[in-house]
């Protein structure tokens, strides 16, 4: 772990761009970009097209370290190159942006009102490769749909168990127990979640640090105690299905919470745009998310 990247993530102004759509969500991401399923014949062509999209975003002048602190990559993206450099190296060396890697393998079936992570069988090997690719940290997602105490505890226990494995590999984990924005018990879920996260944070050792990626809470500043916790590098927010405008407005009233948006970042981008149109649309998105994050 590089200390300058740690300091940037802890104290820098800006937000984290989530560019980590995986195999299951890639067709949706491409469709939103204007690339429909008839444009590719197989998974290889699909991943080629999504890498072209991500390369266009990352190399855009609007994708700049003055407003973007970090970027979360999909494993395929980490192993590919941009302008002759592995993506993580391009982000860090050319753009001055801290690279992260999505490591989860998707969600298990719902049980006790939550969806835990599927087993990550090859995690040690992935983390080793991530270190070789100069990745700073990781991200892994679970989903909470109901205010079930046992289910929420199971989610947070699993997140921190895997998180410690990631810490031991020399990386900073982003713990992401997403609360579904459509849950009828969203606020209660958030209160239960905060308690479970605090229990784990309070048991971390001196040299163990995590980041948190959470749904923007119903009650403003619900997560302020987590943001201020000495074991937390940064708390970032997912857009969770909100439009960029709605997510930004909700973010602004939460002190110290910064964005880590995916769809809300790229919602106005299209494959048919000229470079000038594309860069202008991305610049507008970056500026508005940055303003909501500071």
Q: Active-site residue numbers?
A: 176, 213
Write the CB contacts of 11 (distance below 8 Å, at least 6 apart in sequence). Answer: none
State the Cα–Cα distance between residues 16 and 223, nearest whole angstrom: 18
Closest C-alpha among 78, 189, 69 to residue 128? 78
State the Cα–Cα distance between residues 56 and 34, nearest whole angstrom: 14
Q: Which two tokens stand for residue 225?
A: 């105690």
Contact of 147 with 192, CB cutoff 8 Å = yes
Closest C-alpha among 124, 127, 146 to residue 137? 127
Exposed, middle or buried by CB within 10 Å (0-12, 13-18, 19+), for 97? buried
Return phi, psi of residue 170, to 5°.
Answer: 90, 20
């Amino acid at each position: 772990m590089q200390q300058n990247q740690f300091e940037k993530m802890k104290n820098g102004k800006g937000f984290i761009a989530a560019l980590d759509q995986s195999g299951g969500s890639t067709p949706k991401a491409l469709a939103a970009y204007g690339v429909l399923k008839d444009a590719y014949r197989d998974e290889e062509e699909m991943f080629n097209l999504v890498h072209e999209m991500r390369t266009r975003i990352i190399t855009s002048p609007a994708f700049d370290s003055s407003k973007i602190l970090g970027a979360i990559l999909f494993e395929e993206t980490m192993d590919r190159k941009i302008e002759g450099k592995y993506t993580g190296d391009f982000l860090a060396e050319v753009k001055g942006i801290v690279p992260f890697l999505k490591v989860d393998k998707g969600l298990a079936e719902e049980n006790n009102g939550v969806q835990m992570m599927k087993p990550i069988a090859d995690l040690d090997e992935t983390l080793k490769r991530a270190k070789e690719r100069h990745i700073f940290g990781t991200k892994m997602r679970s989903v909470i749909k109901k205010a079930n105490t046992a289910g929420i505890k199971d989610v947070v226990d699993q997140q921190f168990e895997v998180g410690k494995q990631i810490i031991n590999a020399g990386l900073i984990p982003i713990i992401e127990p997403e609360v579904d924005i459509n849950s009828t018990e969203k606020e209660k879920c958030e209160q239960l979640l905060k308690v479970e996260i605090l229990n784990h944070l309070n048991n971390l050792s001196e040299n163990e640090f995590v980041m948190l990626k959470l749904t923007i809470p119903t009650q403003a500043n619900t997560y302020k105690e987590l943001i201020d916790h000495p074991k937390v590098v940064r708390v970032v927010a997912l857009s969770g299905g909100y439009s960029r405008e709605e997510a930004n407005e909700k973010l602004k009233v939460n002190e110290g919470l910064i964005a880590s948006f995916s769809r809300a970042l790229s919602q106005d981008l299209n494959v048919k745009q000229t470079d000038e149109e594309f860069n202008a649309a991305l610049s507008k998105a970056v500026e508005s998310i940055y303003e909501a994050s500071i």
